[in-house]
Amino acid sequence: MKSLYEKFLLITVAIMIVSSLLAFLAVNTYYHQVLKGHNDEKNMEIAESIAVFIDTNEGLDLEQYLETQAAVGYKLYVVNEEKVATLYGEPFRVENLLESSIDGVLDGDVYHGMRDLPSETFVTGFFSDELANTVGVPFTHKGSEYALFLRPDIKMLFTEVHYILGGMVLIIGIISLLSMLVFAKKLIDPITELTAATKKVGDERFTDVLDISRRDEIGQLAKSFQEMTEKLSENDRIRKEFISDVSHDFQSPLLNIKGYSELLLDENLPVNKRMSYASVIQSETERLSSLTGQLLLLTSLDQLSTPLRLKTFSLDKQLKETIRKYRWLLEEKNMALSMDIDEVDFEGDPAFLEKVWENLFSNALKYTPEEGTVEICLVENEHDVVIEVRDNGIGIEDHDLERIFDRFYRADHSRTISGTGLGLSIVQQVVKLHNGTVHVIRNESKGTTFIVTLPKL
């Protein structure tokens, strides 16, 4: 498998080769379609001026004059009446001039070899060093007829300036290629680092920090990857804590059930102890049942992207019905209940929202001592509804407020009050699914207030 750097290098070289080829074809096409005729016309004027000068100067030393013209940058091919040809200047690469073309010029016609040169895809006509790629004119000297064929000597046309410019283009190309390779290396190094970090994350190693400080898309990718790694690390920690907490919360009641079940096997056990042990087993069984039910509810909330079954229902009646279910506990603990509930029709999932009120209200009753007070408030605003559950119970410490919604977290570390530590997690998740918020604050005197805000759909 080729590395990304190797692919970039190959693609860069391929682009340079293809672009050079396309540029050559474009220039060649432009020459044949546009410049070829102008080039033929310009050289024809030069050849005709040479012929006129020779015709008007009878005493001219023809050999010396033609050699002088060749020295300033032209190739001259001169044919006399006896078809004897003389070359002035550098030889042509290909001498392919037709006999008929020579005869035509000797007869007084002109020859447009540059203009009529056939177009070839991979041969630029301007550089085609062929005798046929010339212009031809007749001239007379000392009573003899001659045919003069002319084209520029490309080698002599390249001056120091052209070589300097060519060298500049070559150096620019080399520097550009090397710069692209260095840039590609710097571009790919962070990707290589990200790849290595990805493998580490796959092995559940989340501690490494990426040393990529860029402000481009790769920097944004590295930042997002780092944030993802931190979240995965936190999720891994929560998962391990979750497994530990689930194991603990299941292990304790199971051990109690096992222990008391073994005690019940004693045939000589008194009736009162038998009833006491059976009561413990029943209590622990109910605890397991409650824990299992809440775990299943959390699982359904986690797995379903849109678990809500929305319908419009009376929110105030649902709150009052939830309170009615716990009337017996209010009376048992001789607690006072204060309600300030507006009549509100709300669109949401009544089944899930009922779990919210049950958890909040049962917690308020559970953590408030006898003869305490619980207040329930429901207010409808223009854009949302606000539900408050306030108690004057044991309250929550400041260091516990940040984690109170974590799964299995319990502010009552001694666990003197029964519970699973899942109720408030369910509350938060259901409220989030309704695009709402839930906050908890410590009351000024004592106790806690939970504030649930649900936007109207």
| CATH architecture label of 307-455 | 2-Layer Sandwich (3.30)
Lowest mean pLDDT among 5-14, 89-98, 161-170, 258-267: 161-170
> Tens digits of per-residue pLDDT, 194-248?
777 778 777 777 666 666 766 777 777 777 777 777 777 777 776 776 666 666 6
Running DSSP on this structure, what letter comes out for residue 147? Answer: E
**4-157, what's its fold?**
Beta-Lactamase (3.30.450)
What average pLDDT does range 11-39 have in this prediction?
A: 80
pTM for this predicted structure: 0.45
Instruction: Indicate if the alpha-carbon torsion angle 100, 105, 108, 109 is positive or negative.
Output: positive
Say if residues 177 and 12 touch (Cβ distance below 8 Å): yes
- What are the percentages of helix, strand and coil residues in the chain, rounded to 5? 55, 15, 30
159-176 confidence digits (pLDDT tens): 555 566 667 778 887 887
The pLDDT-based confidence of 258 (bands split at 50, 70, 90) is confident
pLDDT score, position 176: 78
User: Percentage of the chain with pLDDT > 90?
Assistant: 20
pLDDT grade for 156, boundaries at 50, 70 and 90: low
Q: Taking residues 316-324, what's their average pLDDT?
A: 90
DSSP per residue, 271-298: HHHHHHHHHHHHHHHHHHHHHHHHHHHH
Model confidence over 51-67: pLDDT tens digits?
Answer: 999 988 888 899 999 99
Residue-wise pLDDT tens digits, 71-88: 888 999 999 988 899 999
Pairing of strands 336-341, 111-112: unpaired
Pure H helices in 326-445: 327-332, 350-366, 398-401, 423-433
Q: What pLDDT score does 139 carry? A: 93
pLDDT at 397 exceeding the cut of 80 = no
Average pLDDT in the 248-266 region? 78
